[in-house]
Structure 1
């Protein structure tokens, strides 16, 4: 088989290669033992599946400049970070070779190998962060190029207590950080009262994305002010003048499982400079200093979204 040259040496045992150009690979499936020398040590990319019930043979991906972009590892390897040594099964890199994201465990979910099986194998990570020490089972950790943690994606069902500008908040799904280490965003476990530029609002998203800890429903700016949130339990009445007011609140939609079951669609509130915007609409933006705001409980007999119909 024709040898493929990379920044990490020649590759001869492979399948299904795709190229960025005539001499730079974009993706490749290795079938033989190979070593990649990186700033994070000698990596052994995955070249075979040891356990057909769990592992999946994954491609190595490269940036267009030849630097590796994604490396699934043959076996768990210890990776040195600013937060200590973390055992990992897959790594993502920026195009300058610095670590972008690591995955402590990367099994193949199937009818024979479930999310619960993966969770049972996951190990608690103890991370000493500027916002406090976090102990959790993580799906992935994201990093800035500086090596500072950018985000933590938590396993479903995993809950941590996060020290935030709004106090300690019980957190699920994910949490992200500014590049100096302060909390940037998180996903509250339950409706949680936070102070904003227009008053106290209960932050909560009943159906968070949950794909990545980088994106969450409660967000803080670097100064610690709430910059945006979702709420399913607060409504806001804006008074523009003595004759004009408008109320914003969560809406309702039918469940995917039953038209008779209603679910909340959260109200999104953003704070942009000295203005507040509702539901990402440029027609619903108000100068905070020129308006008054009344915040009340929004109460409805609504359910958490369900995607498994009985």
Structure 2
């Protein structure tokens, strides 16, 4: 099939691959010639022609079952209007109402010939002026609510910024997420960060964080700015309950870079409804009304646990 008639976008031509839903409606296509797609954010041209060193292969255009555009890989970087102003995009995904869901300023294919550093070098810093802070950074992607408000921001791993949080000014890597009203929902600490919790100060830091997207992060707040959960590799918890004492701390496991080096595996602590949950290989639930908990430093964030600090982030 080289041509397809769509209800919302008219005829599409030069189709080299066509995928349908079970009812025969279009699900996605690839092209070898230009097409123009009229969207709520402007006229867009999906990627077409043979792949090259950087371009991704696969479907350039995808649809929801109702025929509305779901995602588009663009032939070239295109300026689109968002709630943050005009932004350049190489890939956009949409909600079914036509509003932007995710926007990617770059969409290169990372492989043995085109590296993450090559893609990062192409990235241009974007200036932001948000309720949580003003900064400039190179961005991997932006996620929006259906209302158009910014939902999360994901940065390149080389980037760090500073944000205002309920725990003061914090350094952030990878990114953060916001509530629809612009208040901070979560962030990924760039350094071990002291956080105020119902059991006192706990050092938050996740050495295993990856930053694929930052919809969810190590430190999570409620809409009113109260800590909901955090990940720590630095603190152990001394728990005194009516039936006795127990001590829970991050488990030591082989490192990913060097299996011969044991490093602390971060554990998740969740606070909810007068209880605390500790997530490791199993879940431990503690009643904060009847137990006394002390956070004890077991891995000093100022000290490294191995010798090769240049290639390790295990302890911050």
Is 1:53 aligned to 2:56, yes or no? no
Equivalent residues of 1:62, 1:68 under 8 A apart: yes
Task: Give the TM-score, by structure 1 length.
Answer: 0.92
Give distance in 1, aligned partners of 2:5 and 2:164: 48
Task: Give the TM-score, by structure 2 length.
Answer: 0.91
Alpha carbons of 1:46 and 1:259: their partners in 2 closer, same or farther (altered >3 Å)? closer
- Partner of 2:148: helix, strand, or coil? coil
Measured on the aligned residues, the alpha-carbon RMSD in Å equals 2.1
Alpha-carbon distance, 1:20 to partner? 1.0
Q: Report 1:57-72 matches (<5 A).
A: 57-59=57-59, 60-72=61-73
**In structure 1, what is the equivalent of residue 118 of structure 2?**
117
- Partner of 1:290: helix, strand, or coil? coil
**In structure 2, what is the equivalent of residue 35 of structure 1?**
36
Alpha-carbon distance, 1:157 to partner? 1.3
**In structure 1, what is the equivalent of residue 221 of structure 2?**
220
Alpha-carbon distance, 1:288 to partner? 1.4
**In structure 2, what is the equivalent of residue 156 of structure 1?**
157
Alpha-carbon distance, 1:282 to partner? 8.2
Alpha-carbon distance, 1:2 to partner? 5.5
**In structure 1, what is the equivalent of residue 305 of structure 2?**
302
Alpha carbons of 1:282 and 1:208: their partners in 2 closer, same or farther (altered >3 Å)? closer
The runs of 5 or more residues in structure 1 that have no matched partner are none
- CA offsets per residue over residues 100-132 of structure 1, 9 Å max, x none? 000001112223321111111101111221212
Alpha-carbon distance, 1:217 to partner? 1.0
Of 84-93 and 127-136, deviating more is: 127-136
Give distance in 2, aligned partners of 1:45 and 1:176: 29
Alpha-carbon distance, 1:280 to partner? 6.6
Alpha-carbon distance, 1:214 to partner? 0.7
- CA offsets per residue over residues 235-283 of structure 1, 9 Å max, x none? 1111112x51121111111124544211211121001121111117886
**In structure 1, what is the equivalent of residue 231 of structure 2?**
230
- Partner of 1:284: helix, strand, or coil? strand
Equivalenced residue count is 305
Of 71-80 and 4-13, deviating more is: 4-13
Is 1:263 aligned to 2:263, yes or no? yes
- Partner of 1:90: helix, strand, or coil? strand
Of 197-206 and 244-253, deviating more is: 244-253
Equivalent residues of 2:94, 2:100 under 8 A apart: yes
Of 201-210 and 271-280, deviating more is: 271-280
Alpha-carbon distance, 1:209 to partner? 3.1
**In structure 2, what is the equivalent of residue 285 of structure 1?**
285
- Partner of 1:117: helix, strand, or coil? helix
Equivalent residues of 1:5, 1:23 under 8 A apart: no
- CA offsets per residue over residues 225-244 of structure 1, 9 Å max, x none? 11001101111111112x51
- Partner of 2:120: helix, strand, or coil? helix
- CA offsets per residue over residues 144-168 of structure 1, 9 Å max, x none? 0011111111101110111111111
Give distance in 2, aligned partners of 1:215 and 1:186: 8
Equivalent residues of 1:255, 1:306 under 8 A apart: no
Alpha-carbon distance, 1:64 to partner? 1.2
Of 165-174 and 277-286, deviating more is: 277-286
**In structure 2, what is the equivalent of residue 246 of structure 1?**
246
Alpha carbons of 1:112 and 1:302: their partners in 2 closer, same or farther (altered >3 Å)? same
Alpha-carbon distance, 1:287 to partner? 2.1
